[in-house]
Amino acid sequence: MILSKNMHQINAEIKVLLVDDSNFMRLVIADIINAYPNIKVIGTASNGKEAFEKTVLLKPDVVLLDLTMADFDGIYAIKAIMKSNPLPIVVLSSIRSSNPDAVLEALKEGAFDFLDKPTGAVGSNIRQIGDAICNKIIDASKVNTKNLLKQKIKSNQNYHTFDSNLNYKIIAIGASTGGTGALESIIMKLPENLPIPVVIAQHMPHEFLISFSQRLNNLSSLTIKIAEPNEELKNGIIYLLPGNANTILKKNSEFSKLRFESTNQTFEEYNWPSIDGFMLSVASIFKNHSLAIILTGMGKDGTLGMTEIFKNGGLTIAQDEKSCIVYGMPKAAVQAGVISQTVILSDISAFIVSAIS
């Protein structure tokens, strides 16, 4: 296994509890983890109930668990652990065998992040993502556990009085790790009569984005959907960009409607969906009428797009470090000097409304 060039220096050994109902899988994954410097599997469990009991007994730093297990599944473990003994939990489960709704439920209940477990020749395939598993454990070990605990938020069904001459014509949002909870918090607080479109680039497999959009649409008084190729951009709709392509906004002529368009262009930081790619198109079309927000997530995706929006006179907002699960993407944009305002997550919705009016 090749060690990642981006691997962080770790001062203390990270203790991991490994949870999977396959004895063979536990052996293989434990071997992968124990080969990494300063990470050690201190215990294993075969179901959710045993996982909870082992966290109390062994006090691990991170829990790595599958979702699909007999008797007591991964969701049971996450709920029990986050209720009584909150810990960073990384879900390692096959997208093909797990219901996307179950993964979203895991994130809603406080899981840090998830990785897709390869299928097929299990022993060799799982080793191919060994580097990703270990780096995800490292990232999880650094998180402020308090930020993983979700608060229930009621949907805002109130109307807000907006000026006829609005300051901004679009809200573009980029998010990655921790983004599902952050986005839900923001969307649920937006007024029912939001007068401009919101477009979100969330790093997530397409299957999960479909389920996520449906979940948000059921919770919110606003309409939330996946943006489709050649679909017209409409006011008051919240769009999630698809996870199987990079998407931009395109205007074919001065008088034509704005439409979503898939692009073959790729970007350095992240693809499918690229935050940078979409925000660059927003900057080009809306210029100083753009309002862009970069939320919790690893890496630097969004900094390039936010830079162009900032240069064109648009308003750029970064989620503050304290409320981020991972202060990676906002930090990169802040350090680039292209953020107009840093705002705590709980205040972002109100800030948006006041900025638009």
How big, in percent rounded to 5, are the helix, strand and coil portions of the chain?
A: 40, 20, 40
Question: Which residue matches tokens 């800030």?
Answer: 351
* Residue from 171, 177, 169, 168 nearest 278 by CA: 171
Catalytic residue among 301, 320, 323, 349: 301
Q: How many CA atoms lie within 13 A of 217 on its CB side?
A: 15
Opening angle at CA 25, ends 19 and 26, nearest 5:
45
Distance from C-alpha of 293 to C-alpha of 318, rounded to nearest angstrom: 6
* Residue from 141, 132, 138, 184 nearest 296 by CA: 184
Q: Would residue 301 show up in a list of annotated catalytic residues for this protein?
A: yes
Q: Would residue 203 show up in a list of annotated catalytic residues for this protein?
A: yes
Q: How many CA atoms lie within 13 A of 353 on its CB side?
A: 18
Catalytic residue among 203, 213, 220, 323: 203
- The token duo for 53 is 């009991």
Question: Which residue matches tokens 């705002």?
Answer: 343
Nearest-10 Cα torsion for 144, 146, 150, 156 = -100
* Residue from 319, 69, 291 nearest 179 by CA: 319
- The token duo for 201 is 């680039």
Any alpha helices (H) in the chain, and if so which ranges?
23-34, 48-58, 74-84, 100-108, 122-128, 130-141, 179-189, 206-219, 275-286, 303-311, 329-335, 348-356
* Active site positions, annotated: 176, 203, 301
